[in-house]
A and B are shown apart, each in its own frame.
Chain A
Amino acid sequence: MLTIHCPNCGVTAEETEFHAHGEAHLKRFGPGSSEDDFESYLFMRKNPKGVHFERWHHRYGCGKWFHVARCTMTLEVFGSYTGQTSVPPQQIIDTIQDRRPDWVPAQDQA
């Protein structure tokens, strides 16, 4: 059972109050983009073993969306942050790097 904090309403609750909606920070490709980009946006997922950024919905609470950083190998929740961003905030990245010194943020990868 995960314990998750909703940054919108400030409630910390068990996972049954929330619903996960998959990988976060996808770059949206719409009409006019290449077929590969559109396919990638719709279906291709990182599905990493380890640090994963994802969108969550406070379904049985305030009803708003936010982001969670979580480890898929240990189920450790590193923290949650606002849904109004397309990159994880520095504070979350620092927390993850503190816990996973080998981990490199996606935007820093070559």
Chain B
Amino acid sequence: MKKYSVFAVAREAMRQHSGWDRAWRDAQPKAKYDVIIIGAGGHGLATAYYLGKNFGITNVAILEKGWLGGGNTGRNTTIIRSNYLQDPSAAIYEKSRSLYETMSQDLNYNVMFSPRGVIMLAQTEHEVRGYKRTAHANALQGVKTEFIDAQRVKELCPIMDIDGPRYPVLGGLWQARGGTARHDAVAWGYARACSDMGMDVIQRCEVTGIRQENGKVTGVTTNRGDIGCDKLGMVVAGHSGHLADMAGFRLPIESVALQALVSEPIKPCMDVVVMANTVHGYLSQSDKGEMVIGGGTDGYNNYTQRGSFHHIEETVRALIETFPMLSRLKMLRQWGGIVDVTGDRSPILSKTPVDGIFINCGWGTGGFKAIPGSGWAMAELMAKGRSPLTDAFGLERFTEGRFIDESVAAGVAH
């Protein structure tokens, strides 16, 4: 792999950019691997990357039925934050956020991490109390957040109308090192690094069956032939239930559509990320100038990767009360992704009833921000059999009633 640097750009500029290699090899499947990861989205690629980087396991294939990063990794609003209330969630999301800080250097790939700061608006008295509690919890967890008053919110985000008659802004939970990153680049950077370690990233390879012997996984059947493995990681978000069905177990998961939209590009007007949970909307401005707006989920099971238009209408209708200038903008495009929501709205990183199969799913509406932390923890779980970051996220919590009481992956603002 050629290292990307300013010198490389200068050198290639002298020879019509003829010397660039493919970022990752177009690999053909081998007969057997130590580890197969199903799903080449952010979480799957990050799992493979940390298996190689932290544990030296590089005989790995990452199988993708579509194209790399074509699922929810390319369909989110790229928000990164870690201001959660409960210790297990704060631990894994803060690990993730801290890995984003150095990801561009680690991967030698510019993921455009922009720690511009995230405000979660408190627009009711209950939210004020809730966010003050979260700020105290974060202080104990070592996550740097603070509760700020309405005037400070206005200073950070001048386009906001804080005196709105229906939803006045009463304050906000401010995480200064939260922000955004370029979502495709995260997938591409991990894929390039994985390929460089000798792993095979295999696209257009759909898993159609899972082979087992005596309760232990031995491989997968795909549309490109049988592939053997010792360990199997399922990291496929919305389609987890479908894969679990092939392996013969069920999951506490339902798949729903979550959608987002962008406006036409405008001049820079907002340099923070704002989340308004009361009205179910979240907003940031992309580097291209588009206002990126995320909304709510449809309330019913759905695999179509598109959402109902009335949700867009509801989201925008509520947001323009707090951001009046948005009412003048045209919508440029809209998209939907299939998110996997668990019974307690927290993710699952766990062993499964089948020996050798591990599952990482249930990130629901909050998966992008978790990519590096989830991969780090999942790699440790697969390599060593347990990880301190995943202990609380096991499947057994549904039998034991040991839920994580936090709407991490709920169908609301993220």
A→B interface (CB under 8 Å): 1-2, 14-16, 19-20, 22-23, 35-36, 39-40, 42-49, 52, 54, 70, 72-75
Contacts and interface: CB of A to CB of B under 8 A. Distances in A.
B197 interface: no
A16 B299 contact: no
A14 B310 CA distance: 10
Given A35-B399, A40-B250, A42-B398, 20 more contacts: A15-B310, A20-B299, A20-B301, A22-B254, A22-B301, A42-B343, A43-B343, A43-B398, A44-B250, A44-B251, A45-B253, A47-B241, A47-B253, A48-B241, A48-B301, A49-B239, A49-B242, A72-B301, A75-B302, A75-B304
Contacts of B251: 44-45, 47
Interface in B136-173: none
B7 interface: no
Contacts of B253: 45, 47
A75 B300 CA distance: 10
Interface in B210-264: 239, 241-242, 250-255
Contacts of B310: 1, 14-16
B398 A72 contact: no
A75 B299 CA distance: 13
Contacts of A35: 399
A1 to B, nearest CB: 6
Nearest to B403: A43
**Across chains A and B, which 7 residue pairs bring their CB atoms closest together, nearest first?**
A43-B252, A20-B300, A47-B241, A43-B343, A44-B250, A20-B299, A39-B399
A36 B254 CA distance: 19
Interface of B: 239, 241-242, 250-255, 299-304, 308-310, 342-343, 398-399
Grouping DSSP codes into helix (H, G, I), strand (E, B) and loop, the B interface class, with mixed when no group exceeds half, is: mixed
A16 B398 CA distance: 32
B300 A44 contact: no
Contacts of B254: 22-23, 45, 47
Nearest to B311: A16
User: Which residue among B239, B242, B300 has the maximum number of chain A CB atoms within 10 Å of its CB?
Assistant: B300
A104 to B, nearest CB: 14
A25 B4 CA distance: 57
B61 to A, nearest CB: 24
Contacts of A1: 308-310
10 contacts: A2-B300, A20-B299, A23-B301, A39-B399, A45-B252, A46-B250, A70-B300, A72-B303, A73-B303, A75-B302
B300 A54 contact: yes
A70 B98 CA distance: 43
A36 B395 CA distance: 12
A14 B83 CA distance: 38
Nearest to B242: A49
B275 to A, nearest CB: 24
A46 B119 CA distance: 37
Contact of A74 (B300, B304, B398, B399): B304
A58 to B, nearest CB: 14
A15 B250 CA distance: 29
Contact of A45 (B241, B304, B309, B399): B241
Contact of A36 (B252, B343, B399): B399
Contacts of A48: 241, 301
A52 B241 CA distance: 14
Contacts of A14: 310
A89 B250 CA distance: 26
A16 B310 CA distance: 8
B309 A39 contact: no
A15 B298 CA distance: 10
Contacts of A23: 254, 301
Contacts of B301: 20, 22-23, 47-48, 52, 54, 72
Contact of B398 (A39, A52, A70): A39
